[in-house]
A and B are shown apart, each in its own frame.
Chain A
Amino acid sequence: MFDIERWQEIFDTIRKNKLRTFLTGMSVASGIFILVILLGFGQGMQNGIEAEFKGDAATSIWVWPRRTTIEYKGLNPGRRIQLRNKNFDVITQQMDVSYDKASVLYFPRDTKIVYNNDLLSYNIAATTPDLQPIENEYISEGRYLNETDMRQNAKVAVISNKIKKEVFSDLDSPLGQYLTISGAGFKIVGVYGEYGDDDGEEQRIFIPLTTAQLTFNGGDKVNNFNFMLPEQSSIDQTVAASEKFVKDIKGYLYEAHGISPKDERAIHVWNPIEEAKRYYSLIGNIKFFFWFVGLCTIIAGVVGVSNIMMIVVKERTREIGIRKALGARPWEIIGMILHEAVFVTAISGFTGLILSMALLEVVGPNVEIDYVVNPSVNFQVAFTTVIVLIIAGAIAGFFPAWRAVRVQTIEALKDE
């Protein structure tokens, strides 16, 4: 392999058979190129779908009440269900259910937000510190609501990047500014942002639940409950755990509010993981499909290489005869042909690899198609594929070379 004379001989051959070398190389390089691009887009679709779900934690569960539709225990249908602090405490403190985070949202009615004598048209949402991980919000400045705010009924507010941009653009930082909400001053302590492009959620100004219930006569009313469940080892288990959780809390809430167990609509629970599961299995199928197409491409590449090698060896039968007459040993000839095959496959395989990875590197982050985000490929996988192709190329070259060497030298010399 490291015989310098052999290398020189091979470079001579390659230099003088440029077209042949180029064609072999092209079939290998394009095979690898297509595979890498396909795998890259498979990954891109997975990233894209994951990004769509990034808005809220995938294992979150949202509970909000509506009106009853069935008469039950003497209560009329059409009755409005009102969630209360007590319900939340029972779920989080007394029931035997497992969750990572739990929070509530309370939307005070008829609030008026004023800053600098301007009336702002944003929504007030009262909540607890745990909402941040459930809604998967990030903090770009200051801090989120905390337990101390809750205990002290602090008049603090957390605004969004969007509000900062729209209202406080002439200030370095909105922190420390006061918003007047229905007459009460709330100090801005933080700025949050939402992942994903769901702008609607950046309309909200968060204030502590306890403060809101006191200030806006909320009493113990809340509008909805939000939970984030622990992730299990598989998506199926996560889905099963979430279904059990939903069933348990629904059972409690139906009983506490006197709702008929047959009433499907009185309390709505949104469990996005069930939807996510469908997408994940879709991703699985898409990835499988891309792999399948990619492997077919590689197989086509291998067949192409074998084909070219067979033609090359056939074309060189006479040359092989001459070399044998001049004293080449059979293994020297097989070695030479294989060496050339492996060298050409390797160079073009890596060329295809580098080109396709460069393309993904450059174009990938700029791709702006729905459900395709940053297509990229696992280098190790691509590298392994090149190695497989090289080995396949060597095997593909070996058999014709072996056969050519078996041909009697005089027969080979007669070959036209």
Chain B
Amino acid sequence: MIEIKDLHKSYKMGSNSLHVLKGINFSAEEGELVAIMGSSGSGKSTLLNILGMLDGADSGEYNLDNVPIRDLNETKAAQYRNKFLGFIFQSFNLINYKSALENVALPLYYQKVNRKVRQEKALKYLEQVGLKDWATHLPSELSGGQKQRVAIARAMAAEPKVLLADEPTGALDSTTSYEVMDLIQKINDAGNTILVVTHEEDIAHMCKRIVHLKDGVIVEDKKIEQVRAAQYV
């Protein structure tokens, strides 16, 4: 599903150049649930941004579902993002003046799905995350966990190939974190490929594979026994 070969990325900081990713080789199969771990500055967010086509790599190869991702202009990147990727952010990134339902329906708007179908689909995904009754509420009326579940429903609504989660539990307490991880595990059980960036060990162990980044290189990549989040909920 995802294939990365010898990926380099550096940022210019004034006259200095900061080499963030120093040759990453990584691949993930369909249906995997991968945790990307590392301390801050290890390059894990940069890697996720490149995977998410929010940022471009300096060199290296990136194939997503056998489509080579390179020479992206904004328009093409937007199309690929819409078609292939769903995002879950630490800070939820819901649009604050839109209801939960409208937030979930938004990616479908950019897929040119008509309004009625959009609403139906969005409601279906809200139901999946257990927030059907909250459909008309604004984000400000939801708790942190609920917001993240809306964000997950939104990421799912576009039916992407890969879900990218950047510290999805970073802003949540541990009980809520486990609820969110439970949801992510269930989505993964349904066959979706998910990458989770985190620096929390317990969250990482709820995935099926952990990739450790340090100073821009992968230092460890191991399959693990998944801890089910459901037991903590």
Contact A328 B110, CB 8 Å, known A5-B115, A409-B54: yes
Interface: A94 (CB within 8 A): no
For A413, give its contact among B75, B83, B93 (CB under 8 Å). B93
Q: Which of chain B's residues has its CB closest to A3's CB?
A: B112
A-B contact pairs, 8 of them (CB 8 A): A323-B95, A324-B78, A327-B79, A328-B110, A330-B78, A331-B75, A405-B74, A410-B55
Task: Give per-residue flags for A1-33: 1 if the beta carbon is below 8 A from chain B beta carbons, else 0.
Answer: 000010011001100110000000000000000
Say which residue of A325, A330, A413 sits within 8 Å of B74 (CB atoms): A330
Q: With an 8 A cutoff between CB atoms, is B231 at the interface?
A: no
Q: Name the one of A12, A13, A318, A331 contacting B93, with C-beta atoms under 8 angstroms.
A: A318
Contacts of B89 in A (CB 8 A): 413
Contact indicator A327/B93 (Cβ below 8 Å): no
Report the minimum CB–CB distance from A62 to chain B (whole Å). 74
A5-B115, A13-B97, A17-B97 known; A326-B49 Cβ under 8 A: no
Q: Is B109 an interface residue (CB 8 A)?
A: yes
Residues A130-168 near B (CB distance < 8 A): none
Of chain A, the residue at the smallest CB distance from B93 is: A322
Cα–Cα, bound, A318→B87 (Å): 15
- A332 interface hit (Cβ, 8 Å): yes
Which of B54, B55, B114, B154 counts the most A-chain CB atoms under 10 A from its CB?
B54
A327, closest chain B residue (CB): B82
- 7 nearest interchain CB pairs? A327-B82, A16-B97, A327-B110, A326-B107, A329-B78, A409-B54, A330-B74
Say yes or no: is A408 at the interface (Cβ < 8 Å to chain B).
yes
Q: Which B-chain residue is minimally distant from A13 (CB atoms)? A: B97
For residue A319, CB closer than 8 A to chain B, the reply is yes
Interface members, chain B 68-119 (any A CB < 8 Å): 74-75, 78-79, 81-83, 87, 89, 91, 93-95, 97-98, 102, 106-107, 109-112, 114-115
Sorting the interface of chain B by its residue count into under 10, 10 to 19, 20 to 34 or 35 or more gives 20 to 34
B158 at the interface (CB under 8 A from A): yes
A301 → chain B closest CB, angstroms: 26
- CB-CB under 8 A for A408 and B55, given A322-B95, A325-B87, A327-B110: yes
- The answer to whether A12 and B95 have CB atoms under 8 Å apart is no
Binding site for A on B (CB under 8 A): 49, 52, 54-55, 74-75, 78-79, 81-83, 87, 89, 91, 93-95, 97-98, 102, 106-107, 109-112, 114-115, 154, 158
B79 lies within 8 A of A329 (CB)? yes
CA distance A1 to B91 in the complex (A): 34
Give the secondary structure class of A's interface.
helix
Residues in chain A near residue B54, CB distance under 8 A: 325, 408-410, 413
Complex interface: chain A residues within 8 A of B78 (CB): 324, 327-330
Are B98 and A12 interface neighbours, CB within 8 A?
Answer: yes
Binding site for B on A (CB under 8 A): 5, 8-9, 12-13, 16-17, 318-319, 321-332, 405, 408-410, 413
Q: Which residue of B lies closest to A324 (CB)?
A: B78
Which residues of the partner chain B approach A329 to less than 8 Å between Cβ atoms? 74-75, 78-79, 110
Contact B98 A16 (CB under 8 A): yes
B98: A residues at CB distance < 8 A: 12, 16
Inter-chain contacts of A8 with B (CB < 8 A): 115
- Kindly report which residue of chain A lies nearest to residue B53, judged by CB atoms: A409
**Chain B residues, Cβ within 8 Å of A330:** 74-75, 78
Contact partner of B109 (CB less than 8 A), chosen from A5, A319, A321, A409, is A5
Alpha-carbon gap, A97 to B54, bound state (A): 88
* B99 → chain A closest CB, angstroms: 9
What A residues does B107 contact at CB under 8 A? Answer: 326-327
Cα distance A249–B110 when bound, in Å?
Answer: 85
Residues of B within 8 A of A325 (CB): 52, 54, 81, 87, 93
Which residue of A has the minimal Cβ distance to B151? A322
Which of A12, A327, A331 has a CB less than 8 Å from the CB of B81? A327
Return chain B residues, CB-CB under 8 Å to A323: 95, 106, 110
**Chain A residues, CB < 8 A from B55:** 408, 410
B4 CB to closest chain A CB, in angstroms?
A: 18
| B75, A326: Cβ atoms closer than 8 Å | no
Cα(A255)–Cα(B126), bound, Å: 108
Q: Kindly state the separation between the CA atoms of A327 and B112 in the bound complex, as whole angstroms.
A: 11
